[in-house]
Amino acid sequence: MGHLNGRLLWHKYAESYFEKAESILEIGPLGYPTYYENILRKKSDKVEYKVLDIGSDFISGAEKNPNFILSKDPMDYPIGDNSFDIVFSDQVLETVDFIWVWYKELARITQPGGYVITINAYSYPRCPSPIDAWRVHSDGMKVLNQYSGLKTILSVTESLELEKYKVPLRTGAYFPGASITNPYGDDSGK
């Protein structure tokens, strides 16, 4: 799906992996073509790019994509083992009931030597689609990867929107995608 911060994170950390991939599955797509598919198609039309969701309520036309896969089961996709070089989601993890089961499913459909790449909401406002259950710190993602048999290459909690818009860190104001103020009211972090 994606918010600005997700797109900025994708460009900074993930885009180079996508440029090398031959087969990509995007879970929870938004629109057709999706933002990410559109960028990759401009560079090469040889990539096999499929999209998957468990419904069409939140995907704004992605179901019109001829490579759209509708899964009736959010934890068991109608896809064979080891099918994709990259299995990708942007702003999806927080809407999954049982993320530990889901992550093992992502690992199952990713080829050996492939990548599961997720960009997750961290401090965006609640957005039930239909639920909004999780905000996972970078250490939590490392544990989830380990539990799912995946090796963590990179796990960060970061807002690039602050950098892009030159928002001072100490504004005391809310900015989408970032928690600018310390939740403890001081700089102690305790």
Q: CA–CA distance from 144 to each of 3, 17, 150, 151 (Å)? A: 23, 21, 8, 10
Q: How far apart are CA 16 and CA 182, in angstroms?
A: 33
Of residues 2 and 35, the one with the higher pLDDT is 35
CATH number of 4-158: 3.40.50.150
pTM, rounded to two decimals? 0.82
Average pLDDT over residues 122-147: 85
pLDDT band at 90 (very low <50, low <70, confident <90, very high): very high
Give the confidence band of 186 by pLDDT, cuts at 50, 70, 90.
Answer: very low
Joined together, the tokens standing for residue 164 give 């892009």
pLDDT of residue 170: 54
For residue range 135-185, list pLDDT tens digits in order: 898 999 999 999 999 999 999 988 887 776 665 555 444 444 443 333 333
Task: Spell out the domain ranges in the chain.
Answer: 4-158
Any idea what the Cα angle at residue 132 is, between residues 130 and 40, rounded to 5°?
A: 85
